[in-house]
Structure 1
Amino acid sequence: MSRRWFAGLGAGLCLSLGALAQEAPAGTTPQDGNAAGTLLERAAPGAAGGDDAAAAAEQRSVTWQLRIDAPDNLRTLLARYLDLARFQPMAASERITRVELARLLAAAPQQARGLLETVGYFNARITSQTTGGETATPPADPARPIDLQITLTVEPGPQTTVGQVRLEIEGPLSETGDSGDAASRALIERMRAGWTLPAGQPYTQSAWSAAKAAVLVAARAEGYALATLSGSVAQVDAPANRADLFMVLDSGPLFRFGDLKFEGLNHVRPDALRAMVTFTPGEPLREQLLLDYQDRLVKSSLFDTVAVLFEPDADQAGAMPVTVRVHELALQQATFGVGASDTTGPRITVEHLHQQVFDLGWQAKSRLQLGRDTQSASVDLTSHPHPGPYRNLASAAVDRTEASGLRVTSERVRLGRTQDTEKVERLYFVEWQRALTRNVADGILTDDSSAVTLNYHWIWRRLDDPILPTRGYSLSAETAVGRSFASTDSSGFFGRAAGRLTGYWPLGQSWYGQARVQLGQVYARDAVAVPFTLLFRAGGDDSVRGYGYQTLGPSSAGNGSAVGGRVVGTGSIELARPFSRNLPAWWWGVFLDGGNAAARWEDFSTVYGYGLGLRWRSPVGPLRIDLAYADELRKMRLHFSVGVTF
């Protein structure tokens, strides 16, 4: 650090160089911030070359060790921002002189008071003490820096608390509220009730700033985009340790929705974007409506970037134009993937997506997966959004899976539509499917059944984060009614229902809990055949860990191969926490799973799995690695998976 910097700084300090001529003896404790502490030794008057020695001593570099005697939270604040602390690590390399240190030391009490006042301590008493240095004249080694010990003692006194709080509203919001408008009065009451720095709370500058900002955010989020603070003051009565707060909010005009302007469209028609709009012209331009609309555009899988914005203009407040700026995904995309799972083994996947197939406003997604235990091919056609917002769908798929001694080949064709809102996803469809099951060991056909069903799937979420939830609930339900057609057993009508409830909640500051319950049942006469793919099996990552994928459930009496159950019930409870504050994305946990599938509830018998797990909360979802012990099998099994299952 150069001396020129301190020369420039010295003009703002309260201690002049002339005042430094009187030095306190070593070990002296000065009064509350009125002296710089014990300063460095100077050449004794009358010694040979006294003036030169004195000048040399003035320019001799120093280092120091700073000790701040204060409560922990205040010590951290002062150690971070006090100049005496910030310049300490560089003292030796920058050759800070005794004069420059004296300036820092003289400024420290006043600077510390300013810092303490930002957190509500207006009656602090600060003293400093300096010890160490050399007393020999001349110094034993003039080139060696002098080393000092500096102690800054802080007696903070009581913290100031908030006394009276007044929040005044003026402008159009106040006028409509006074005239009896229910929405305006409700908003004013919410802002006052939501004030974040009420009477009796400790006063800090950051809390005061945050409280004012929260009022502005609340007003702007409800359509008052030009809301400003026309005045605010914190009146601090230091002797009484009290701060009275007063602020005035000028709401500005209420903005309402006008026309939508679209930018960046090429192969996607504007009608598709308008179909996802849930607000109407003239409606108050609330921020949440814009954010929800933006989320719907992102989830449409038509764009890679989306921005919904407007430039507040008081002259257009009654019909404010809103700009929707998008960047479309490429017209065609191809994806190649390699993966592995403990449920289905290694696999490769090839996908192709066409955003505007045959120029008809439909997306076409083709997918081929080749794996050790599973092979599949599918084509999904999904329309661009329609008002509702709804999307029509048509799909066809062929799957072949080996599990629990069976090789299942299934075919299906589906026609329906979907509706996605902020909290609920709905899927309605009619489906034809056929399932053929054979024993892996001998290849004998055990079942050949098909069915036509009407289906309704529903998912409701109330989570703090859809990808990495830590608080909230999700509920999914599936229902179906239809008729089966069998080559061996009787054909007939049947129904099917399944549901899954998952909850997340924090436990204290470090632990997190998760619980899951799944229930399902097929309703049909015992003689009526139901395709294997509509029956139930348990076991695997998202069922009962410790057991293989779909290995739990009824088995054939002849060869022990799995057959589908008509009832299923599973549950899980898990506790997890981060390894450390330095690794917040890495967690470890313990879990207990239980459940089974059976032909009927009278035959149901719960089996258990429990163990330890490792979690990595990645941006694309949680990666889970679990080591589970199957109580029924008395064996260990390793599970790994990515993502959240609803």
Structure 2
Amino acid sequence: MRVQITVVAIAVMLVGGKNLEALADSQSSTQDASSGIVTPEATIHIGEYAKYGNYIGAASGDNQTLEFFQKVVKDIQIRFINDKGELFDDKGQPIKGRTQTDFIIGLLKLKPGQVFREDLLEADLQRLRRLESFNQVNVEREEDASSVKVIYKIKERDFPSLILGGGSNDDVGLYGRVGYKDANISGLNDKLDTTVQLSSEDIQFNGQFTSPYRPGEPNRLGYSIRGFRSRNISGTFNEDIRLSNGNKVREGRFGGSVGLLGAFDEWDTSVALNYTRISLRDQEYNVVQVDRLGSPLSVSGTGIDDLFTVSFAVSRDQRDRRDNPTQGSILTLSTEQAIPIGLGNISSNRLQGDYIQYLPVSWIGNGRPTDNPEMLAINLQIGTTIGDFPPADAFNIGGLDSVRGYGYGKVASGRSYGLASVEYRFPILQSIGGVLFTDLASDFGSSETVLGEPGVLRDKPGSGFGYGLGLRFKSSFGLIRGDLGISDQGEVRFEVTTGQKF
């Protein structure tokens, strides 16, 4: 594609520092000083490449011609690689992937036949890197004078996976756990994630199937189905005030949800119908209504509350990759309206916001590739509940995923909360990284408005501050996190889990 424009005194304009965009926008002409007649002087051919383009200049006599071409995407190819980064197996055959090529092409904004744009290519690369089914995505280009061939090289994760584990806790004692996960069913990134936990006291499970929204099929909505059953020592009614028989309060949850998934612009959306039955129980798993002080444990007064809710959430994900991102951000906003049906007749609205920002820095790094890149990671959260709600559903502040240095729910159990966390992450070895962190949170004095005031009666401070350091180890089982936290109350806690805090 060529655009012909006539310009005046091109040599003077080039010396004067005019850029190509200014030239393209100019009306080119030459005016004879004596006659006032405007006549053509020079010819320029201008097009576009990448964001601003390149040009080729050629001088001929008193005229100068600049050739500036639009390069068109000739083809997009998807190639899969193995763990060694190879495109072919031992028999010389191309590596086959599980993911359908048409599905991948449907996710891309830059299509064959379009003018090549660097910004769209980068956005597509990040979009593919955020898929859970992909472990590594790189892109190459093959160019000629007028076209670009885009080649994606993709290493897939090893799905499906079987996870076996076990442990012991204060509630059920020894337990065994088995999990099954596949994030690329049918090559379309449909996901099944299930876990079953067995003990002498109980059977717990959590299973979810998700078929995400596909940009290549705009008239089709995604969907998700979930079912769960769990029990734990209550974070709201902790051991500071027990039941009349001396038992700690157990909190059981049973329910499920059905949701529809969509997208507009760069925002992902979800609408879901949810049900949760919350029950408060003793060690023998008998339902209890009040604690040792006679304070109610549920809205219904029976020890059991039903929550029927309709939820809506939007999320904008601009991270450069899904696992251990190095830059970008993710913002999630949600609202959940309770419908007054069932025990407790609960009507409330739960509002939450969650923002994470990743900022690459180079304070001590040497610029070499690492599994633990140097960065600042910032997380801001806020939430509130309007109306009546089960006290067990209060915002429990404190713990490994909240304010480190405190036990779970030890800071506050409030109607509202705000949380700010900052981490400085830095590499130590290729697969080992370090973290310096600080967490700050508050219930904004809202614990007094929770039914039964469980946080106030248990002398939870309502706000808390923690800081410390940690290690990150990238293993074949995923990222292992160990954090040593120190609270502003002087408590020191070291806890180990998997995955980054945010």
Q: TM-score, normalised by structure 2?
A: 0.61
Corresponding residue for residue 419 of structure 2: 571
Secondary structure class of the residue paired with 2:405? coil
107, 113, 121: which one pairs with 1:276?
A: 107
User: Against the structure 1 CA distance between its residues 337 and 176, is the aligned structure 2 distance closer, same or farther, given a 3 Å change threshold?
Assistant: farther
Q: Does 1:495 align with 2:344?
A: no
Q: Following the alignment from structure 1 to structure 2, what is the Cα–Cα distance between the partners of residues 393 and 624? A: 32
Report the counterpart of residue 368 of structure 1 in structure 2.
196
User: Aligned pair 1:429/2:272, yes or no?
Assistant: yes
- Which residue in 2 is equivalent to 1:126? none
Q: Distance in 2 between matches of 1:442 and 1:361?
A: 39
Provide, for residues 453-491 of structure 1, a one-character-per-residue CA deviation record: whole Å limited to 9, x for no partner: 22123334556776556776543322111314343x3x1
TM alignment of 1:250-265, pairs within 5 A? 253-257=69-73, 260=76
Tell me the matched-pair count.
400
Which residue pairs with 2:486 in the alignment?
Answer: 628
Task: Pick closer, same or farther for the CA change 1:177–1:570 going to 2, 3 Å.
Answer: farther
Pair 1:334-2:161 in alignment: yes
Taking the aligned partners of 1:452 and 1:176, their CA distance within structure 2 comes to 66
How big is each residue's C-alpha offset from its partner over 1:117-145, in whole Å with a ceiling of 9 and x where there is no partner? xxxxxxxxxxxxxxxxxxxxxxxxxxxxx
Counterpart of 2:214, as a letter, is H
Q: 1:520 aligns with which of 359, 383, 394?
A: 383
Higher helix share: 1
Q: Given that residues 49 and 71 in structure 2 are in contact (C-alpha distance below 8 angstroms), is that contact kept between their aligned partners in structure 1?
A: no
Q: Indicate if the aligned counterparts of 1:308 and 1:323 stay in contact, CA closer than 8 A.
A: yes
The answer to whether the 8 Å contact 1:398/1:412 transfers is yes
**Residues 279-290 of structure 1 mapped to structure 2, 5 A cutoff:** 279-280=110-111, 282-290=113-121
Label 1:322 to 1:610 Cα distance change in 2 as closer, same or farther (>3 A): closer
Q: Distance in 1 between matches of 2:210 and 2:188?
A: 11
Query: Does the 8 Å contact 2:99/2:188 carry over to 1?
Result: no
Structure 1 416/470 Cα, relative in aligned 2: closer, same or farther at 3 Å? same
Secondary structure at the aligned position of 1:545 is classed as coil
Tell me the distance in 1 between the aligned counterparts of 2:256 and 2:468: 41
Q: Secondary structure at the match of 1:589?
A: strand
Residue 351, structure 1, aligned to residue 156, structure 2 = no
Deviations 1:257-313 (A, max 9, x none): 456566677765555334323345543222332343344344444556656555324
Secondary structure at the aligned position of 2:311 is classed as: strand
- 1:429 and 1:454 in contact (8 A); partners too: yes
State how far apart, in whole Å, the 1-side matches of 2:362 and 2:288 are: 55
Contact 1:341 1:641 in 2 (8 A): no
TM-aligned CA deviation for residue 380 of structure 1: 2.2
> Quick one: structure 1 residues 505 and 584, their matched pair in 2 at CA, closer, same or farther if it must change by over 3 Å?
farther
1:449 maps to a residue whose letter is: D
Cα offset, 1:583, TM superposition: 9.5
Measure the CA separation in 2 of the matches of 1:256 and 1:427: 36
Matched, 1:478 2:323: no
For the Cα contact (< 8 Å) 2:55–2:69, is it kept in 1? no
Conservation of the 8 A alpha-carbon contact between 2:437 and 2:468: yes
2:109 partner letter = T
Q: Which runs of 5+ in 2 are unaligned?
A: 9-17, 23-47, 59-63, 81-95, 239-247, 290-302, 365-373
Alignment match, 2:36:
none
Q: Which of 575, 586, 593 pairs up with 2:440?
A: 593
| Separation of aligned partners in 1, 2:207 and 2:398 | 29
Q: Max radius of gyration: which structure?
A: 1
Q: TM-score, normalised by structure 1?
A: 0.49
Equivalent AA in structure 2 for residue 569 of structure 1 = Y
Call closer, same or farther: CA 1:408–1:462 in 2, change over 3 Å: same
| Structure 1 unaligned blocks of 5 or more | 1-171, 180-185, 191-218, 232-247, 555-564
The amino acid that maps onto 2:466 is Y
2:117 and 2:174 map into 1 onto residues whose CA distance is: 48
Query: 1:538 Cα shift?
Result: 1.6
1:540 CA drift (Å): 0.3
Q: Does structure 1 conserve the Cα–Cα contact (< 8 Å) formed by 2:380 and 2:421?
A: no
**RMSD (Å) for aligned C-alpha atoms:** 5.2
| Shift, 1:250, TM fit | 8.2
- Give 1 or 2: higher strand fraction: 2
Give the percent of matched residue pairs that are identical in Structure 1 and Structure 2.
17
Question: Partners of 1:329 and 1:507 in 2: how far apart?
Answer: 29
